[in-house]
Structure 1
Amino acid sequence: MARWWQEFDLLLSPVFATPPKPVGWPWREPDGLQRSVDVLAFTAPFNTTGQPAIAVPAALTESGTPIGIQLAAAYGREDLLVCVAAQLEAERPWAAHRPPVFPAGAIPA
């Protein structure tokens, strides 16, 4: 993986492989662990290799839930990730956006 960074500074990908899921998903489903692994396919390579990555909100669903993008960089380039994330936030501030944390029916009984 380290060779890839000789030609590129950043890798842009989605955070999740699907639209955002409700709080508590998928742990109440029989195949919940496998389903969560499938959804996290874009973050897993960086979690396992230790390469720096950052997730930032890029858009909102119709209901106001953030949709994230992930930026990854070469080993030791956290500075680049934080710099780019700060530039994105300056262009599209997200601090005031609050997603609906517990939509109807999402609170476990």
Structure 2
Amino acid sequence: MHLIGSNFQWPSGIIVGQTNANQGNDCVGCTRLECDFANPNPSFRFCRLSRVAGFHVVMSFSWTGGGCKGATCKSASCPPSDAWVPGVDDGSSLRFCPAAGVGLKVTFCP
């Protein structure tokens, strides 16, 4: 588990779930958490789990504070509403949290 506090200075980024069997910068097959906090309007700050590169480990995230909903992807077949999948871009995997002072909790293999 990784906890990112509410005072982090992170405009956007990707957190990947990988094991020793899948090391390297390319992260082929990794489960990903993609976040964007760069927009000055907090209503457009979001995170989503993604299977764009594949699926490697179970991964979940939640917002700490603010009462906003996170997501969990438990398998390579988790639904597009839990993790973005190429070819299905209906926006249901996006998790917005406009509340001030929220942090982020990322859990691998929950």
Give the TM bin, normalised by the shorter chain. under 0.3
- The alignment's TM-score, normalised by the length of structure 1, stands at 0.28
Higher helix content, 1 or 2: 1
Higher strand content, 1 or 2: 2
- The alignment's TM-score, normalised by the length of structure 2, stands at 0.27
Larger radius of gyration: 1
